[in-house]
Amino acid sequence: MPELRKDPIVGRWVIISTDRAKRPTDFLRERFVHKGGFCPFCYGNETKTPPEILAYRPSNGGPPAQPNTPGWTVRVVPNKFPALGIEGSLNRQAEGMFDKVTGIGAHEVIIESPEHLETLATLPEKRIEDVLWAYRDRILDLKQDRRFRYILIFKNHGEAAGASLEHPHGQLIALPILPKHIVEELEGAKQYYLIKERCVYCDIIRQETEAGVRIIAENDSFVTLAPYAPRFPFETWVMPKRHESAFENASSKTYQDLARALKQLLMKSDRVLDNPAYNLVIHSAPIQDPALDHFHWHIEFMPKLTKTAGFEWGTGFYINPTPPEEAARFLREARVETPQTVGK
Amino acid sequence: MPELRKDPIVGRWVIISTDRAKRPTDFLRERFVHKGGFCPFCYGNETKTPPEILAYRPSNGGPPAQPNTPGWTVRVVPNKFPALGIEGSLNRQAEGMFDKVTGIGAHEVIIESPEHLETLATLPEKRIEDVLWAYRDRILDLKQDRRFRYILIFKNHGEAAGASLEHPHGQLIALPILPKHIVEELEGAKQYYLIKERCVYCDIIRQETEAGVRIIAENDSFVTLAPYAPRFPFETWVMPKRHESAFENASSKTYQDLARALKQLLMKSDRVLDNPAYNLVIHSAPIQDPALDHFHWHIEFMPKLTKTAGFEWGTGFYINPTPPEEAARFLREARVETPQTVGK
């Protein structure tokens, strides 16, 4: 008998098929494949992108490096085709009964490596940590712009997940509004806090760690788990154990442990699901908010295993053919070699 | 400068690109193509589906036809691989802090024609009307089962939209819970009603009909329009002009006019967008509710023009490259021949 399960934060019901559970090999997935061709994000093509906003260039004791030249490990540039414009003032307007705002925002690309054929999974932990520091640096900078209320950091890996360039990269969008799903999480978590006087995410971590069936991995600072009511097969959350509402306020030890947790999850996913396309989204508190007792930042990882789900967009209703307990077991048991951290 | 627009019902913000607006020919769409092979929904294969629940068989004055034999125009059968099971009792349970319900529900297939190569767009209006009556008949029957709270009627057309069989068909899922998006619409519409004492959908119809820029078509009972803050390029809503919260309570003239409106929209979409895959969802009130002053049933039509949008699932944030005013103009100006209603 299938089960209907409710997400305890946003109240979304999901059908979990327990009868004919789909195993990793049952999915006709669109694998991540390299296509080649000219790439503006590659080493040596620094002038083919808009001028860089930020780059980490390991110093070799020589004179400081010039911007927009090789020598970097992580590089942040404006998106050449931004969804929103950075210039102009925020203009809130009515159009009869409707509401609109001028499309002010920032849209940046975080290039994770000069090497085209790397992926976030194959980078050394220390280099993944650098990517996380780049996210943080950009958030701290953009946070000063009072026009922005939210910063969305996400990664589309593979064409099936919406990536138009295959070179390893993530994206940042700064918005003058709050995205709907974030509002729902904030409200759901607040509601829970008002009743229980506890953070719902902290409660999830506590209950899941005790039960163990949906736990995939754990280190000093993070727990990686399959959520109780996942929308997608093999959906995974990476959650900091210590309560903190904003990604950018984490400690340096946290980024180090997050890099380790992410690398392990991505390697396990590549192993078990055969290099799937995926989306990865950081869920963090609104940038202008103080530290929140009810919200807990985390990362949601969604491998793209099912061909399409247009219907789900229209209804908010999800049918998931893989119980999270099964997904967690496959990922937990996957043996991957996590090499020691190596220098840049 | 792009615009951020807010959906007045659910409060979702959407980026509308106004600079490099995508025209119909700019989309690399996955077109609907026939693949052939054995089809259990075809004329003569009636024994290859589970036994029929309902079928319309035009009488020719002879003896009544036998079920599960040819001679039908619309046929409803249980889904052979149902997402939910019809037998058993509803069991609401806790799992620590989580909530679950046994997966009780109905999952049916509405076969729209015995002809494999027809589509809903190519059927005569009278036959589309029969499909709508079949929806209504099934809703009225399932409504008596007090375990169910919602009936979702939808259509996935084409592989890219999630259809696994190409024979023209729709689906019905009866649920013991309310899907999230429906809850949001009900709550958003109620909020508006509490403030304005008017139905938000009625207000939209009034404002849009006066402005005209987002109107695609209109007949006695329906207005077909591009919503102000659409998530997807060429997203279209078909709305009854007269306030009514439930699809199944409409008048027979309403179904006749809806068949005409749907045929016209689908033909225009096939013309302008070159036979796109699409999802179509009926948004109606919960089946156990009385007539609601604040909710207004309608149909949402979403052609599948963009390759993927996994990111959108994770954030509830949408970037739409085609302003609805442009989409409406293309569809409004598309000339299609709508043949006169012909008999079955």
Closest Cβ–Cβ partner in B1, B4, B8 for A176: B4
pLDDT, chain A, mean = 91
Q: Please state, in angstroms and rounded to a whole number, the distance separating the CA atoms of residues B299 and B282.
A: 5
Compute CA B279 distance to the chain's CA centroid, rounded to the nearest angstrom: 7
The pLDDT tens digits for B277-288 are 999 999 999 999
Is A169 noted as a catalytic residue in this protein? yes
Going by DSSP bridges, is the β-strand pair A13-16/A318-320 parallel, antiparallel, or unpaired?
parallel
3-state secondary structure A293-334: CCCCCEEEEEECCCCCCHHHHHHCCEEECCCHHHHHHHHHHC
Q: Which residue from B196, B269, B314, B202 is spatially nearest to A282, judged by alpha carbons?
A: B314
Chain B residue with minimum CA distance to A18: B103
Check if the beta carbon of residue A259 is closer than 8 Å to that of residue A128: yes
- Judged by a CB distance cut-off of 8 A, whether residue A162 touches chain B is yes
Closest Cβ–Cβ partner in B102, B181, B229 for A315: B181
Q: Can you name the residues that pair with B240 across neighbouring β-strands? A: B222
Closest Cβ–Cβ partner in B2, B102, B314 for A84: B2
Residue B53: pLDDT over 50: yes
Q: Please state, in angstroms and rounded to a whole number, the distance separating the CA atoms of residues A275 and A266.
A: 9
Residue A61: pLDDT over 50: yes
| B62 to chain A, closest Cα gap in Å | 42
CB atoms within 10 A of CB B268: 24
CATH placement of domain A3-333: 3.30.428.10
Q: Please state, in angstroms and rounded to a whole number, the distance separating the CA atoms of residues A338 and A113.
A: 19
- Judged by a CB distance cut-off of 8 A, whether residue A195 touches chain B is no
Average pLDDT on A197-214 reads 98
Give the model's pLDDT for residue A224: 98
Pick the CATH number of B3-23+30-58+66-333 from 3.20.20.100, 3.40.50.1820, 3.90.1640.30, 3.30.428.10: 3.30.428.10
| B88 to chain A, closest Cα gap in Å | 9
Active site residues of B: 169
| Percent of residues, chain A, with pLDDT higher than 90 | 77
The pLDDT tens digits for B64-100 are 889 999 999 999 999 998 889 888 888 999 999 999 9
Which chain B positions have a beta carbon within 8 Å of A176's beta carbon? 4
Chain A segment 91-150 residues within 8 A of B by beta carbon are 95-103
Which chain A positions have a beta carbon within 8 Å of B214's beta carbon? none
Average pLDDT on A129-154 reads 97
Chain B residue with minimum CA distance to A236: B314
- Judged by a CB distance cut-off of 8 A, whether residue B232 touches chain A is yes
Give the model's pLDDT for residue B111: 98
Chain B segment 36-75 residues within 8 A of A by beta carbon are none
| Residue with the two structure tokens 């980078």 | A123
Spell out the alpha helix ranges (H) of B144-251: 180-196, 200-211
ipTM: 0.89
Which chain A positions have a beta carbon within 8 Å of B319's beta carbon? 83
Which chain B positions have a beta carbon within 8 Å of A201's beta carbon? none
Residue B255: pLDDT over 90: yes
- Judged by a CB distance cut-off of 8 A, whether residue A261 touches chain B is no
| Residue with the two structure tokens 């009936």 | B151
- Judged by a CB distance cut-off of 8 A, whether residue B86 touches chain A is no
Q: How confident is the model at residue B160 (pLDDT cuts 50, 70, 90)?
A: confident
The pLDDT tens digits for B16-46 are 987 767 788 778 666 666 777 899 999 999 9
